Amino acid sequence: MSFFEEELGATQLEAERAEKHERLYHYTGVEGLKGILDSDSLWVTQIQYMNDSKEFGHAVDIALELIKRRKVSASTQLAKFYSVMENTLYSSNGARTFIFSMTENPDQLSQWRGYCGLGGYSIGFNKSALQELCSTSNFRLEKCVYDNSEKERVIGEVIDGAVDYFNSQNGRDDYDVIEHESKFYGRFLKIGSTMKHSSFVEEQEWRLIGGPFPWTDQQSQWRTRDGVLLPYYEVKLERDADGYLPVSEVYIGPCKERQLAADSLHVYMQVTKNLFRRRFSKTPYRG
């Protein structure tokens, strides 16, 4: 077997199961892999506590710029309404939106470096199963938006929707109340959580997104990291008719003992009653 050979002697059933499904991949360390296989669930993290938590500010910046342009030619009353929208955005932090990140790319160097450290795994989830999960929960599966013109179009529609509501209110001047009634912020939160800077387009990210949930929501759980309390949602995965989780392929990332990692994963797959094709990353290990 050459160093760059991906396949790890998959059985016919493992190969058929992998090829049957379109997959989205989640990069994680060994603890993350073990946690998913042990608990039959995903831990979906509140956006403020993610590695890329500041990305929500990217959508805010675009919205503020669009409002600034519209404000120039607006009437006095509409300009005041725009100012209320600006204040809402300036104080925006993503509220209680929870995200689980995945990608179309199963074997990408930047993702191994960014999310896995020394040894890691790219877990291939069956996309159809994730879509089914969303149909029965308060989560949705969305592809991230990287194109700047598309971001402006989508955000512009949310802004215009709020303005249409304002214009329908027959001259009311309780601008804060009108902005709240227009549901501007809630709609913005939903689209803002899908937007990433165009420089990250190679990641081809998809997100399992929950919320925004109210601050008083009692369903989230808490863990700790580096002295900080981290809120998360535990989203249960359904096993299929054959008793397997919706994981049909796992890539083993660059590591010193890759054959040992592959062998132990094979045994652990059976211990946890799962079935998936194992593959080696083509990225060479640099110790």
Q: Determine contact, residues 126/247, Cβ cutoff 8 Å.
A: yes
pLDDT, tens digit, 9 for 90 and up, residues 94-131: 678 999 999 999 999 999 988 887 779 999 999 999 99
Tell me which of 9 and 258 has the higher pLDDT: 258
Residue 35 has which token pair? 């946690």
pLDDT band at 287 (very low <50, low <70, confident <90, very high): low
pLDDT in tens, 146-183: 999 999 999 999 999 999 999 999 999 999 999 999 99
Q: Decide if pLDDT at 1 tops 50.
A: no
pLDDT tens digits, 30-75: 999 999 999 999 999 988 887 665 678 899 999 999 999 999 999 9
Question: What is the predicted pLDDT for the residue at 68?
Answer: 97
User: Which letter, b or e, does each residue of 86-121 get, where b requires 16 or more Cβ atoms within 10 Å of its Cβ?
Assistant: eebbeebebbbbbbbbbbebbbbeebbeebbeebbb
Quick check: 232 and 45 in contact, CB under 8 A? yes
Phi and psi at 59, nearest 5°, equal: -65, -40
Express each pLDDT in 203-249 by its tens digit. Answer: 999 999 998 888 788 888 998 988 989 889 999 999 999 999 999 99
How far CA 204 is from CA of 69, 143, 196, 215, 229, in Å, comes to 30, 8, 10, 30, 30
Q: CB–CB of 172/165 below 8 Å?
A: no
279 forms beta bridges with: 7, 251
212 preceded by cis ω (within 30°)?
yes
**In percent, how much of the chain has pLDDT > 90?**
71
Given a contact cutoff of 8 angstroms between Cβ atoms, the answer to whether 233 and 203 are in contact is no
Do residues 275 and 14 touch, judged by C-beta distance below 8 A? yes
Alpha-carbon distance of 274 to 43, in angstroms, equals 19
Q: How far apart are CA 42 and CA 77, in angstroms?
A: 47
Distance CA 257, CA 280 (A): 12
Report the mean per-residue pLDDT for the chain. 91
The beta strands (E) that lie in 92-246 are given as 96-103, 121-126, 139-143, 205-213, 221-225, 228-236
Give the model's confidence band at 136: pLDDT under 50 very low, under 70 low, under 90 confident, else very high.
confident
